[in-house]
Chains A and B, each alone.
Chain A
């Protein structure tokens, strides 16, 4: 067990500036996401994980996605803490933050390395994949029969807000990772009249942009934002400012696709209607940020607004008890 080294690794990582490795986020955005992910690796949380009994795998590979650069942090912490050698397989030519993670780990004697070679999959006893559904399927096919595979494909998240006072925190959820994470809200559903929501939410989006400016848009993302905006101009309402927009749209226009700092606002009658609307998307639903204590959906993480992208270490990930599934 190497939990002490993991704590030191976490502390050494705090001293790094992740921004140069994360060009799609603003420097402030990269820092905020980095700090949020490291905060989750608290001593108390690591102690809880260390107390879970089981046989760790002999070796593991994690296939990292391009989008949420902090995603490997918690997996590294847990697997390395248990003494499992881990290889981070990053997208070809895009190592992102992985060199920093491995350099600091190796300096402490933790068995972490990174590569873009796909053949590392052939030696893995355990493989964790983050990415598109196609990537997960592709990795599944490439793994040897004896390997265990935890694949996490595309997921999306939404907010269910019943009080206007809760919306400001949703803007923070939308700001972290610029909406690229599967725990970032793609839409806000509310039984309240949109006017009650949009005004405070717009103010919070302005504040979020001030404190964590949006990063540079990918070309196709800019085009897609214009498409969604055009839809809202035609059948809804657009409220927008520098690098953010709120699109009031009929629920029929809901799409589970995240756009950076662009939140759809859908009014629905009540919680039951909201749940019915999500029913066709349940398998893809990761997290609901909500101020409604009565909301509970099996397999879906429900949390307070503002905590959507700050998941605790000890939890189920997309409905999977990942802390136990990574043990024998």
Chain B
């Protein structure tokens, strides 16, 4: 049953049509028209967002972008506390508690996430080995939720601790290509366990960074080790966050591609002013699929935006606290001992 009614239902239909149409090369309406319509509805139903509007909004990039950390402090979005909701929560690793992303339904999330993933990773294997927590036990983990939509998944990070034996057992004798979906840190841990090569045609998906911690394998070294040891047909990278409904996909050394329903702006982190194309700045993301929460999100990440909208991600803003899902496995690993030097 659709959870939206009235104007929200109409907007949900327009967003779904935009997702489908834009992937087919013909969006039914301009991004800006839909963005402004969503924003007007959100501002009318979210007092927090309404309080952040300090000037008339005439263009999509004038829509207030809510700082991601504000999700920890305030209920952001249009879903009331007593309304049924799908709730995704941040890892809570930057202090100040966990942020919540409340949506009435994951229908738009699922539509956009799966459609863009399949567009960016053609022939994505439907047999999936996830170095992630099972959404059955971690229903608020958005990354696990997304990966679960991609196919038939086995989960190998119960309680955030990588299950090395279970992983070996799952992959031992596997002949069909798999999608190995992992955070960067969990993948590094798996690679240190001397894994066998993946079945021919497999794809490795890496997301998240190292969040301010140190591992022997990171960045290019991690990608090289992945190619050397797992021998995937393809290695892809994903950039997303709990507060978004859509994701960007890329590959090592290549920029991330946003879907047509998500736009990214680089701003001067000191002033908040948009920067010219190609300049390095703090990233704001505007996601049309974020119907129930808020369209604009201001991250603590930095990057450059190319003329085609692709994003060269340059990590966290200098001095920004570490953040993200990679820490779930990472912290358990640090507690366990080997190599876990946080300094």
Residue ranges of A at the interface with B (Cβ–Cβ < 8 Å) = 134, 138, 216-223, 226-227, 230-231, 233-235, 253, 255
Contact = CB atoms under 8 A, between A and B. Distances in A.
A223 B300 CA distance: 7
B74 interface: yes
Contacts of B271: 222
B338 interface: no
Nearest to A238: B54
B320 to A, nearest CB: 4
A57 to B, nearest CB: 27
B48 A219 contact: no
A226 B298 contact: yes
B63 interface: no
Contact of B67 (A134, A227, A255): A227
A220 B52 contact: no
A218 B319 contact: yes
Of listed A216, A226, A235, A253, residue having the most chain B CB within 10 A: A226
Given A230-B52, A234-B51, A253-B73, A222 B343 contact: no
B6 to A, nearest CB: 26
A227 B270 contact: no
Contacts of A222: 268-272
A35 B205 CA distance: 56
The CB with the most chain B CB atoms within 10 A, among A134, A216, A230, is that of A230
Contacts of B268: 222
Given A222-B271, A234-B52, 12 more contacts: A216-B270, A221-B319, A223-B67, A223-B269, A223-B317, A223-B320, A227-B67, A230-B70, A231-B70, A234-B47, A234-B70, A253-B73
A70 B320 CA distance: 25
Contacts, number: 60
Contacts of A220: 269, 300, 316-320
B300 to A, nearest CB: 6
Given A226-B67, A226-B272, A231-B70, A219 B52 contact: no
B270 A230 contact: no
Interface string B40-71: 00000001100110100000000000110110
Contacts of A226: 67, 272, 298
A139 to B, nearest CB: 11
The 5 residue pairs across chains A and B that have the minimum distance between CB atoms? A220-B319, A222-B270, A219-B269, A227-B67, A220-B320
Contacts of B316: 220
A223 B343 contact: no
Contacts of A234: 47-48, 51-52, 70, 74
Nearest to A219: B269
Contact of B343 (A134, A219, A221): A134
Contacts of B69: 227
B282 interface: yes
Contacts of B51: 233-234
19 contacts: A138-B343, A216-B270, A219-B319, A221-B319, A222-B269, A222-B270, A222-B271, A223-B282, A226-B67, A227-B67, A230-B66, A230-B67, A230-B70, A231-B73, A231-B74, A233-B51, A233-B54, A234-B48, A234-B51
A233 B52 contact: yes
The residue in A223, A234, A235, A255 that gathers the most chain B C-beta atoms within 10 A of its C-beta is A223
B318 A235 contact: no
Nearest to A134: B343
Interface string B318-335: 111000000000000000
B288 to A, nearest CB: 22
Interface string B226-238: 0000000000000
A226 B64 CA distance: 11
Contacts of B52: 230, 233-234
B317 A219 contact: yes
Contact of A219 (B54, B282, B342): B282
B67 A235 contact: no
A217 B317 CA distance: 12
Contacts of A230: 52, 66-67, 70
B260 to A, nearest CB: 27
Interface string B61-102: 000001101100110000000000000000000001000000
Nearest to B269: A219
B302 interface: yes
